[in-house]
């Protein structure tokens, strides 16, 4: 078996995750571990592996495949669709929940804002906190909502979503 016989592709929901070539081939199998973080887009999402080498009846080995549900999801205890004026402070409030929606938030879990998701091409992606209320862009735990708050400054952000 040659190296051309040891190519495998992994896809999630129709999108290619990676194409893996295991090397020289031959009788000495060397196992490698791969891990991916993916999101299901519906109740039925396909994980697919395909032999991506020369079509000759030979191919790659695949073993011990598993899909594990993430232990956390985000719950919003407020209406996030309400608009805010430019220059205002927008308190982003959230709770960490399990798949059933049970609140798992705790002061021992540290949440960090990394960037803003831009859903239109005119919005900025800069994360700034208001009045140093969230040092290092960390959310702070708030016992009143049993969740987390990040006071986002909208100053300097362009109109957008």
pLDDT at 159 over 70: no
pLDDT at 144 over 90: yes
pLDDT at 96: 92
Least confident residue range of 15-19, 36-40, 104-108: 36-40
Name the average pLDDT for the chain. Answer: 78
pLDDT at 153 over 80: no
What is the mean pLDDT of the segment spanning 51-58? 76
- Determine the structural domain holding residue 120 and report its residue range: 70-161
Least confident residue range of 8-12, 77-81, 83-87, 124-128: 124-128
Query: Is 56 a domain residue?
Result: no
Examine the domain organization and report whether 153 and 74 are in the same domain. yes
Examine the domain organization and report whether 141 and 74 are in the same domain. yes
pLDDT at 31 over 70: yes
Query: Is 64 a domain residue?
Result: no
pLDDT at 105: 92
Number of domains in the chain: 2
pLDDT at 103: 92
Percent share of the chain, pLDDT over 70: 75
- The pLDDT-based confidence of 107 (bands split at 50, 70, 90) is very high
Query: Is 58 a domain residue?
Result: no
Percent share of the chain, pLDDT over 90: 16
Of the two residues 28 and 96, the one the predictor is more confident about is 96
4 φ/ψ angles, rounded to the nearest 5 degrees: -65, -15
pLDDT at 57 over 90: no
Q: Please, what is the Cα angle at 35 between 137 and 55, to 5 degrees?
A: 140
Query: Is 26 a domain residue?
Result: yes
């Amino acid at each position: 078996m040659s190296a051309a016989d040891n190519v495998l592709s992994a896809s999630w929901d129709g999108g290619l995750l990676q194409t893996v070539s295991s090397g020289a081939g031959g009788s000495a199998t060397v196992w490698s571990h791969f891990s991916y973080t993916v999101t299901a887009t519906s109740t039925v999402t396909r994980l697919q592996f395909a032999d991506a080498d020369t079509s000759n009846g030979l191919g790659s080995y695949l073993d011990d495949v598993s899909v594990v549900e993430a232990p956390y999801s985000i719950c919003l205890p407020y209406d996030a669709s309400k608009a805010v004026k430019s220059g205002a402070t927008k308190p982003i409030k959230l709770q960490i929940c399990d798949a059933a929606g049970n609140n798992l938030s705790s002061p021992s879990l540290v949440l960090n804002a990394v960037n803003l998701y831009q859903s239109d091409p005119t919005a900025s992606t800069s994360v700034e906190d208001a009045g140093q209320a969230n040092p290092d862009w960390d959310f702070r735990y708030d016992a009143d909502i049993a969740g987390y708050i990040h006071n986002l400054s909208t100053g300097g952000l362009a109109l957008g979503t």
